[in-house]
Each structure stands twice: as structure tokens, then as C-alpha cells.
Amino acid sequence: MKKLLLLICLFPALIQAQSKKKSKASSTNEVQLEAGSYKITGTLTGYNDGTVIDLVNPNTRIPEATAKLSNGSFTLSGKLESPDIKLLTFDKSNAFIPIFLDYSNVTVTAKNGELQNASVIGSKSHDEFIQYNTIIRPYDQLFSGNGASDPAQSKKCADGLESFVKQNSSSFVAPLAIYRINQLTDNGEQMERLFNGLTGDVKSSPIGGYIAQQIAEAKRNPMGKPLPDFSQEDTNGKLVSFSSFKGKYVLVDFWASWCGPCRQENPNVVRAYNKYKGKNFTVLGISLDKSKQPWLDAIQADGLTWQHLSDLKGWTNAVAQKFGINSIPQNFLVDPNGVVIGKNLRGADLDSKLEEILK
């Protein structure tokens, strides 16, 4: 994949217990810091002195500050380009505490083996992060990909998140809520309207920038509009046009043999294809490969028995560029008239959508 990865799906379970404890108001722990700076003072039990504590960027996995535990305590400090999600990790292990860090003096209290109960006090953004997670926690199944589609529950969750965004337009957590709303509603106009209500510094934050990308993509290929026609050669060098599929429900699937997440998603697409191919549904694969043989090998290995197209130009694939595809996997689900009725449907979401329209 090419663009920013939001690793937000990891966090709700780990802050569940935090939200049960009423976080002290940030003002009670405020200390004057240099502009753009933060300070984290921590107390850990169950860890040996000398334990390495890293403050990690979850998208790059790169430590941004490091300290060692001494007498059960540690201190981390530095500067932030913008308030954002960070992870506290211990001796490079997979255990971590998520913090929505801002320009604050933060106190962390935690115990080995019970990091989900960690207390994080002093960051207003983290308090808002807990509030946000309190809203989405009853609806975890809507985001896990394991539950069935539930329009009524989706609306309740989206309405709660929209209220949060409107009440917290200067919160750096608000773009995260907008991201979740769009997952539930797939409504580009709503996403843009909510985003435009945020303050300028929030819009320019890392997560805000990601939402801006999503808005731009939604405008390029909007729901409810026809997907423009295109043509490209298939695996035998025959030119095939998208318009030749008119009259069918089609999943236009952008992928590549070298794309790990694409290959992991392929079994879900195969299951959907096999389940619904007798109900006027098919898949049209658009590969961003550069070499033909790896493309053909992946088609065979993954059992992708539908039609495939590619100009073997990688990221400069003409169809991908036409639709502004800058990350994969991506897909569009179109109806028999070529109108986009779904975008980036994966796993259970794809199956639920197809079951809804092809019953």
C-alpha cells in the first residue's frame, strides 16, 4: 500500500478499562511547556529497571523518544508536529499503551500484564479519545468485519459520532470520528461537510490529512454516479471494455501480485464470487503489476477465475490513474447500469452488500 495506514482498529480494546475510570480534567495536571512540546512521566510496576520505553509512531513504527525505567519510573519528552496517536512500548515487545498525545504534561500509571487498565492523565486529546471510544464500543461488531450488516445500529453509531464531531470541532480526535462515520455511511458529502466544520489546525493534522485524501477520492468516483468506461488488455492481449459488462453487478477490483494485503483479501473475493456468480454478479480484476508472469502466477495460485486486465505499468496503470487509485487493494461495486453502489467492500462487508442486493 502507498498511503498512510490508520492503525486505529488496534486501540479500542486496550483503552476499554481506561474509559471506565473518570479521567481527571487536563487542567489539574497542566504545566507550562515550551510551545509544541510534551512531557510524559510514568510509573510502572511489574517491569525490571532498565526496561526500554519507546514512544512509537504507529504508522511508521519508528520510536520518537526513548527512556529507561529507573526505580519504577520514566520520563519522555519532546516536540510534536501535531497532536496524534502514539504508542508506549516496552522492550520492543508487542505490548503497548495507546496515547492520544498533545502539547501537555502527561502522567501514565500502569502494571505489567494489565496495560488495558493503564491510567493516562493530563492530555485533553486523550480524554476526548476515551470519549470517542465510549461511543463506538457498543458497536465494535460493525467495524470488526465479523458481524452482519445492521443499518439501524450503523445509524445509531454514526449519529453519536456526528454529535461528537459537531461538539468537538477543535478536537484532534474529530477526524478519527469522521473516518469511522464514513466507514458506516460511505457518504462523501457528509464526510466533507463534517470535515469543513473543523478548525484549520485539526484539518492539517496527520489524521485530518488522511480524511482530506478520502474526500478527494470520494469526489473522483462518487457513489450513485456511473463509473466511466475504460478499456485494457486481458491476459491474452485482447482489449476488453468495462461497458461490455453492462447488465451485470461487477466488482472492479484493483490489486497486484506483489501486494500482500491484496493477496490476503483474495480468498474473500473468491468466496463472494463463487457464492454470487450465478446471480448476475462477476469480478473484473485490474492489476498494477509490471511483469506478466508474476501476475499470471498469482491469478492461478489464488484461484481468481474471473476476467483480468492490465497494461503492466505498475502504479502508472492507465485505469488506476483514471480513477485516482493510489493505494491497493481498492474496489468499486457497480450495478447493472454501471452506477457505483459500493466502494472498498472487503470481507464480511462485501458479502453483506451482495446478499442485500442479490437476494
- Letter for the amino acid at 234? D
Query: What CATH fold (topology level) applies to the domain 21-122?
Result: Immunoglobulin-like (2.60.40)
Query: What CATH fold (topology level) applies to the domain 231-357?
Result: Glutaredoxin (3.40.30)
DSSP for 40-66, please give it.
EEEEEESS-TT-EEEEE-TTT--EEEE
Would the pLDDT of 214 be above 60? yes
Residue 176 — very low, low, confident or very high, per pLDDT cuts 50/70/90? very high
- Letter for the amino acid at 266? N
- What average pLDDT is seen over the chain? 89
> Which helix or strand (DSSP H or E) is residue 157 part of?
helix 151-167
Per the listing, cell 456511473 goes with 226
Buried b (16+ CB within 10 A) or exposed e, 303-328: ebebbbbbbeeeeebebbeebebebb
The stretch 145-156 carries a mean pLDDT of: 75
Would the pLDDT of 213 be above 80? yes
CB proximity list for 3: less than 8 A, separation 6 or greater: 210, 213, 326, 327
Q: Do domains 21-122 and 231-357 have the same CATH topology?
A: no
Would the pLDDT of 13 be above 60? no
Q: In this structure, are residues 189 and 214 in contact, taking their beta carbons and an 8 Å threshold?
A: no
Read off the pLDDT of residues 299-326 as tens digits, 9 standing for 90 and up.
Answer: 999 999 999 999 999 999 999 999 988 8
Read off the pLDDT of residues 225-250 as tens digits, 9 standing for 90 and up.
Answer: 999 999 999 999 999 999 999 999 99
- In the chain, domain spans: 21-122, 148-220, 231-357
CA distance 319 to 317: 6
Q: What are phi and psi of 177, to 5 degrees?
A: -65, -40
Q: In this structure, are residues 350 and 251 in contact, taking their beta carbons and an 8 Å threshold?
A: yes
Read off the pLDDT of residues 135-144 as tens digits, 9 standing for 90 and up.
Answer: 999 998 887 6
